[in-house]
């Protein structure tokens, strides 16, 4: 079965408090070379049938309407396993 990953990240200009909290914790643990952390979401979709142009278009539609809020987030769609 085909697998498609949708990654959703807060836009760069939006404050990411969770990423900041992780960043501070990493620093406390001594990982001094980690300059910044951004936290996002990853959705893994199992797809019935081939991931063709129509399937990708419908995944984009889903990402735009439900998985991401494009006011504050960007998303990428990647076919992992076709």
Partner 1 sequence: MSPRVGVVTFPGSLDDRDAQRAIRLAGAEPVALWHGTTDLSEVDAVVLPGGFSYGDYLRAGAIARFAPIMTSIIDAANDGMPVFGICNGFQVLCESHLLPGALTRNDHLHFICRDQKLRIENTTSAFTSGFNTNQEIVIPLKNGEGSYIADERTLDELEATGRIIARYIDGNPNGSRRDIAGITNEAGNVVGLMPHPEHAVEAGFGPSLDGLTFFTSVLSRLVNA
Binding site for partner 1 (CB under 8 A): 14-15, 17-18, 21, 66-67, 69, 71-72
- As measured in angstroms, the least distance from the Cβ of 72 to partner 1 is 5
- As measured in angstroms, the least distance from the Cβ of 50 to partner 1 is 27
**Comparing C-alpha atoms, which of 61, 57, 58, 63 is closest to residue 76?**
63
| Number of residues in the chain | 82
> Number of helices (H) and strands (E), helices first, in the chain?
2, 3
Distance separating alpha carbons of residues 59 and 67, to the nearest angstrom = 10
Distance separating alpha carbons of residues 82 and 77, to the nearest angstrom = 13
Closer CB to partner 1, 69 or 76, in the complex: 69
Closer CB to partner 1, 41 or 78, in the complex: 41
Closer CB to partner 1, 3 or 73, in the complex: 73
- As measured in angstroms, the least distance from the Cβ of 7 to partner 1 is 14
């Amino acid at each position: 079965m085909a697998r498609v990953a949708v990654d959703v990240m807060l836009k760069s200009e939006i404050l990411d408090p969770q990423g900041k909290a992780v960043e501070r914790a990493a620093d406390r643990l001594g990982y001094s070379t980690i300059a910044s952390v951004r936290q996002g979401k990853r959705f893994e979709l199992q797809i019935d049938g081939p991931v063709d142009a129509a399937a990708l278009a419908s995944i984009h539609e889903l990402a735009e309407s439900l998985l991401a809020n494009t006011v504050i987030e960007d998303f990428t769609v990647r076919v992992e396993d076709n």
